């Protein structure tokens, strides 16, 4: 395995990669959309939008444009439900091995970053509620870029903040959006199979490595930060 020069940066997606939130996201979307009195989308349909910016996901599920007033109302209702019902459970929603793995990588001198489709405030709140915010040097939310994942802008924002070239970064994510962003940036990537997208979908996006648990992610990254 090629050694990543130190310092390097490990860039993580958030939902479905560090925090086991897909089920909670479905719960929050269902509660938010119920207020519109229309037929609720199936859980699988909601789950398929994970990884998209919130406005796009809500608009798609409501069948309206992202700038439609109903989309804005759906976003507000979703965020309120997530804040009230999911954030208090954040620490227990961390994937097994995530806290210890991230801490170990940080102690080895790796810079840690998050590139997420969440808004920055929501990502910051979730990481803080989970008790791991201080481990991350950089957090880039979808509202901080013009073009969210899979566009490379989020990845470039992390690289700029860390003053590092792409060859000294590895992206870790559970969706093709993460992997395609990494490829567009020139980063290597680790696809995790315990999140949203299936193994065939992930393989099709061409990750450098594949991991089935967060412990495996840590094992893959650790030799890169010697």
Plot region of 7 (φ>0 → left; ψ -120 to 50 → alpha; else → beta)? beta
Q: C-alpha 183: how far from its chain's center?
A: 16
Question: CA 76, CA 95: separation in Å to the nearest integer?
Answer: 27
| DSSP at 60 | H
Active site (catalytic) residues: 13, 15
Question: CA 212, CA 199: separation in Å to the nearest integer?
Answer: 10
For residue 194, which of 210, 212, 221 has the smallest C-alpha distance?
Answer: 212
């Amino acid at each position: 395995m090629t050694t990543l020069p130190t310092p390097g940066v490990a860039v993580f997606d958030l939902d479905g990669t560090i925090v086991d939130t897909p089920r909670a996201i479905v719960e929050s979307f269902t509660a938010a959309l119920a207020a519109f009195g229309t037929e609720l989308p199936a859980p699988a349909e909601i789950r398929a939008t994970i990884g998209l910016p919130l406005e796009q996901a809500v608009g798609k599920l409501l069948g309206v444009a992202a700038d439609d007033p109903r989309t804005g109302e759906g976003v507000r209702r979703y965020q309120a439900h997530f804040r009230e019902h999911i954030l208090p459970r954040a620490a227990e929603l961390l994937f097994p091995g995530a806290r210890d793995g991230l801490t170990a990588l940080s102690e080895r001198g790796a810079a840690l970053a998050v590139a997420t489709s969440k808004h920055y405030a929501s990502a910051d709140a979730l990481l803080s509620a989970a008790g791991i915010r201080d481990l991350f040097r950089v957090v880039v939310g979808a509202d901080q870029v013009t073009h969210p994942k899979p566009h490379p802008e989020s990845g470039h924002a992390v690289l700029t903040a860390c003053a590092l070239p792409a060859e000294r970064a590895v992206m870790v994510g559970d969706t093709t959006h993460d992997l395609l962003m990494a490829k567009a940036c020139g980063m290597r990537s680790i696809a995790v199979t315990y999140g949203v997208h299936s193994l065939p979908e992930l393989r099709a996006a061409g990750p450098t490595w594949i991991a089935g648990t967060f412990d495996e992610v840590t094992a893959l990254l650790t030799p890169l930060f010697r």
